[in-house]
Amino acid sequence: MHFSLLRLQLVELIKASYKVSNLPPTEAFTPALEFATSQLAPRAPTSPAFLDDLEKTMALLIFPMDKLTPQLQQLIDPKLKQTVADSVNHAILSWQGQQREARLRKLIQYRAWAEMKAREAKLDVPAILQLDPSESLTNGNEMMMIREGMIT
């Protein structure tokens, strides 16, 4: 995960290098090259996947941003940032002993799945399932009221 974050930082440095128009390319790419050399290169030999990712990222220095192959285009796509951010968030939540999704959401998903399976099996399932025996339907518009005036 740390390598992925560092690689994202390298991608941003490379993109910034292309925006510096008043410097020759060798000088514009210097910060990206120094960062890759000091931060990513020492980690790359520890894993073939790291080495492959570093090589692909460094290829961004060679090809113009508007003429990248689909494989290299993925490196500058915002989806990569979102994927890495999701991984970081998941790791943080796991480290803290918390779940990614709320337990209530999982329970609702299980309930919906069970209802779907019951309907597929042609079991007699009411059109509207009450979540709680204290719920009631009112006004003919199927609004469910739950205990003491709370409406959902």
Domain ranges of the chain: 2-95, 103-151
Question: With pLDDT > 70 as the criterion, what percentage of the chain qualifies?
Answer: 79
Half-sphere exposure of 146 (CA within 13 A, CB side): 6
> Rounded to whole angstroms, how far apart are CA atoms 1 and 84?
8
Q: What is the pLDDT of residue 10?
A: 93
> Edge to edge, what strands does the sheet with 150-151 contain?
136-138, 143-146, 150-151
| pLDDT digits 0-9 by tens, 4-55 | 899 999 999 998 888 876 777 678 888 999 999 999 999 988 989 999 999 9
**Three-class SS state of 61:** helix
Instruction: Please give the model's pTM, rounded to 2 decimal places.
Output: 0.58
Q: Name residue 138's beta-bridge partners.
A: 143
Q: What is the pLDDT of residue 138?
A: 46
Q: What is the pLDDT of residue 132?
A: 61
Q: What is the pLDDT of residue 99?
A: 66
Token couple for 127: 């059109």
The average pLDDT across 86-94 equals 85
**Three-class SS state of 149:** coil
Q: What is the pLDDT of residue 145?
A: 37
Tell me, what DSSP letter sits at residue 19? H
Q: What is the pLDDT of residue 106?
A: 77
Nearest to 59 by CA among 10, 26, 19, 21: 10
Q: What is the pLDDT of residue 131?
A: 62
> Rounded to whole angstroms, how far apart are CA atoms 96 and 117?
35
